[in-house]
């Protein structure tokens, strides 16, 4: 079925090729128009030249367009996939990590939670708000699929800015658990229905069911998971912090130590500082490897030596945007384990406009969250702390309020004082002045 899919941030060598890989494996989307959009004209042109070459290899499977004009790109769009970043991602990430710690914060990582996650949100939410206002104006019935972090805060800002827009957020953090569970339980993944609930990078496995029998596998999982996963302990994924939280709270946090620890005051107690630095470095190195690979393909293209099969001939990225689009346009109902959507009655004892991560069903009728009801009080209490921070953070950005911005930092468990919050805010505002809103 033909549709129009717009990739915002398509010049990124980490985002663009992975999404396009999935698109080129799709037969359902043959004949669709794929619009590549980025504000970096030079990088966009590189990706465009590669993709039109790939399209020829795939017998002109798609209509490929590219433009730096966002409004032109969005006209008539059915689906928008967004994955922008602002500025030099890794330089800014290191500042998000180092500056709060300089003033005494015990935060780890600083990507989506803690004071670093707040500063990340301050930078990236304003341009995304501008994007969704254009979407609302030009293609209000489109589905907006967001990959940009900090996921929950970005999606909350989108819903408060354009409440009628259909928006979901996608993150692959459930992937590690999906990889291990079939081995752990000796079950086929196709016969397992995972039921994770919580916030992005801060979620818990609440249920696990075998289909079609309906057998509850949670008792078995809870019994064998600690011993099984400790055999595969990974300092970036399931390690000391994950096992401690599982023991204390009774439900397995599936997001990995590096992400989980961002939201917890005791995160640093069970993680090592160097591990967090190494994670940032590894993420940057992985990105550079992808960039070099793409540029090698581009060099071969310019030299007339491009691979006959191209670079997008087989495989899938593991991301879920294209499968969700396919399920919607073909009306083949599917179940997705972990998608970020507004709460709206899914979890009763969390704020209803909070962006939660939960299972969904997808069909031509749209996207529906799978209702859970009340989370255990201890889990809900953890999540409500972060929910309040996200609420205040988004309000600070949308109203450009300095007082709310500092309050957001001050109430964070990894700050805890107005003096520290003001020190962090003042230095970050000066250091990142080209990207931080003009808070008044």
Q: Is the CB of residue 435 less than 8 Å from the CB of residue 87?
A: yes
- Residue 299: left (phi > 0), alpha (psi -120 to 50), or beta? alpha
In the numeric block, which tokens belong to residue 421? 């919050």
Residue tagged active-site, from 58, 120, 172, 201: 172
**In angstroms, how far is CA 256 from the centroid of its own chain?**
14
User: If you write DSSP's letter for every residue of 6-27 in order, what string do you get?
Assistant: EEETTT-TTTHHHHHHHHHH-S
Give yes or no: 201 in active site.
no
Per 3-state DSSP, the chain is made up of helix, strand and coil in percentages (nearest 5) of: 50, 15, 35
Report strand pairing: 215-216 vs 202-210: antiparallel
- Rounded distance, CA 88 to CA 90, Å? 6
Report strand pairing: 143-146 vs 79-82: parallel
Q: Is the CB of residue 54 less than 8 Å from the CB of residue 27?
A: no
The DSSP output letter for 92 is H
Q: How many residues does the chain have?
A: 440
Query: Which residues, other chains included, contact 256 with Cβ-Cβ below 8 Å and sequence gap of 6+?
Result: 173, 176, 234, 236, 237, 238, 242
In the numeric block, which tokens belong to residue 413? 């468990």
CB-hemisphere CA count at 13 Å for 400? 6
Three-state DSSP state, 276: helix
Cis peptide before 150 (omega within 30 of 0): yes
Could you identify the residue written with the tokens 């309000």?
A: 395
Could you identify the residue written with the tokens 């081995």?
A: 183
Number of Cβ within a 10 Å radius of residue 275? 16
The DSSP output letter for 142 is S
Report strand pairing: 4-8 vs 33-37: parallel
In the numeric block, which tokens belong to residue 256? 């990995």
Could you identify the residue written with the tokens 């670079």?
A: 311
Q: Is the CB of residue 28 less than 8 Å from the CB of residue 330?
A: yes
Q: Tell me how many degrees the CA angle 314-321-83 measures, rounded to the nearest 5.
A: 100
The DSSP output letter for 302 is H
Catalytic residues: 172
């Amino acid at each position: 079925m033909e549709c129009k899919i717009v990739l915002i941030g398509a010049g990124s060598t980490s985002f663009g090729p992975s999404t396009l890989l999935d698109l080129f494996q799709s037969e359902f989307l043959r004949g669709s128009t794929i619009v590549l959009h980025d504000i970096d004209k030079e990088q966009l042109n590189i990706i465009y030249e590669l993709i039109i070459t790939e399209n020829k290899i795939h017998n002109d499977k798609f209509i490929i367009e590219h433009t730096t004009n966002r409004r032109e790109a969005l006209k008539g769009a059915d689906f928008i996939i967004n994955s922008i970043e602002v500025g030099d991602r890794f330089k800014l990430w290191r500042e998000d990590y180092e500056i709060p710690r300089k003033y005494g914060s015990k935060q780890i990582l600083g990507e989506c939670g803690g004071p670093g996650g707040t500063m990340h949100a301050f930078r990236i939410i304003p341009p995304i708000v501008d994007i969704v206002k254009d979407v609302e104006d030009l293609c209000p019935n489109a589905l907006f699929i967001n990959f940009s972090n900090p996921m929950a805060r970005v999606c909350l800002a989108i819903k408060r800015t354009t409440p009628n827009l259909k928006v979901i957020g996608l993150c692959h953090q459930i992937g590690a658990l999906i990889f291990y569970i079939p081995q752990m339980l000796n079950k086929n993944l196709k016969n397992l229905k995972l039921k994770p609930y919580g916030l992005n990078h801060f979620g818990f496995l609440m249920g696990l069911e075998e289909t079609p029998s309906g057998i509850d596998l949670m008792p078995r999982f809870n019994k064998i998971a600690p011993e099984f996963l400790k055999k595969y302990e990974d300092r970036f994924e399931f390690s000391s912090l994950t096992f401690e939280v599982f023991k204390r709270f009774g439900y397995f946090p599936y997001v990995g130590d590096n992400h989980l620890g961002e939201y917890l005051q005791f995160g640093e107690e069970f993680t090592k500082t160097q591990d967090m630095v190494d994670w940032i470095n590894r993420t940057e190195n992985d990105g550079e490897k992808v960039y070099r690979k793409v540029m090698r393909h581009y060099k071969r293209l310019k030299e007339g030596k491009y691979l006959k099969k191209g670079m997008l001939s087989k495989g899938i990225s593991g991301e879920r945007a294209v499968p969700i689009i396919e399920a919607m346009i073909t009306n083949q109902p599917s179940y997705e384990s972990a998608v970020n959507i507004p709460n709206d009655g899914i979890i009763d004892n969390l704020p209803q406009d909070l962006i939660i991560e939960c299972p969904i069903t997808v069909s031509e009728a749209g996207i529906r969250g799978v209702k859970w009801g009340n989370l255990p009080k201890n889990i809900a209490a953890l999540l409500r702390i972060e929910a309040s921070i996200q609420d205040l953070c988004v309000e600070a950005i949308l109203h450009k309020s300095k007082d709310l911005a500092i309050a957001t930092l001050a109430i964070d468990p990894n700050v805890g004082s107005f003096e520290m919050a003001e020190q962090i805010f003042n230095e970050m505002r000066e250091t990142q002045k080209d990207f931080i809103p003009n808070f008044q």
